[in-house]
């Protein structure tokens, strides 16, 4: 599994527009075979930073998704919304692999 974390710099006066954009992408990523883990919007602290996380089975599956979104009318409408409202100032992507299963402390080999 590969998880993409997006860090956004958003316009603090366009948080509502960004939230609309976020809700649409949750739907789109899930429809296109990914698992969206949600968007995280400013509440306290910095008012211009937001995050999103979603996973695909593999980097190849993510790359296929990236190819598909370039052709998908709903995805293009979401991009157009962000451009029209200018709710996103910039973003960057980081790819990680999740560790989802816990282990007993004895796994540390200290005993």
Residue-range domains of the chain with CATH: 2-96 (3.30.70.100)
Q: What is the largest CA-CA distance in the chain?
A: 60
Per-residue pLDDT of the chain (111 residues; tens, 9 = 90+): 999 999 999 999 999 999 999 999 999 999 999 999 999 999 998 899 999 999 999 999 999 999 999 999 999 999 999 999 999 999 999 999 988 889 888 888 875
Q: Quick check: 1 and 58 in contact, CB under 8 A?
A: yes
Distance (Å, rounded) from C-alpha 49 to C-alpha 88?
10
Q: Are 3 and 51 in contact (CB under 8 A)?
A: no
Taking only Cα atoms into account, the Rg of the chain, rounded to an integer number of angstroms, comes to: 17
């Amino acid at each position: 599994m590969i998880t993409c974390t997006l860090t956004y710099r958003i316009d603090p006066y366009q948080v509502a527009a960004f939230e609309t954009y976020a809700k649409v992408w949750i739907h789109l990523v899930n429809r296109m075979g990914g698992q969206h883990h949600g968007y995280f919007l400013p509440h306290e602290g910095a008012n211009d930073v937001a995050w999103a996380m979603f996973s695909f089975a593999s980097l190849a599956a993510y790359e296929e998704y990236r190819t598909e979104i370039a052709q998908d009318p709903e995805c293009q409408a979401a991009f157009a919304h962000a451009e029209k409202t200018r709710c996103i100032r910039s973003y960057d992507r980081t790819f990680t692999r999740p560790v989802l299963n816990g282990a007993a402390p004895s796994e540390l080999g200290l005993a």
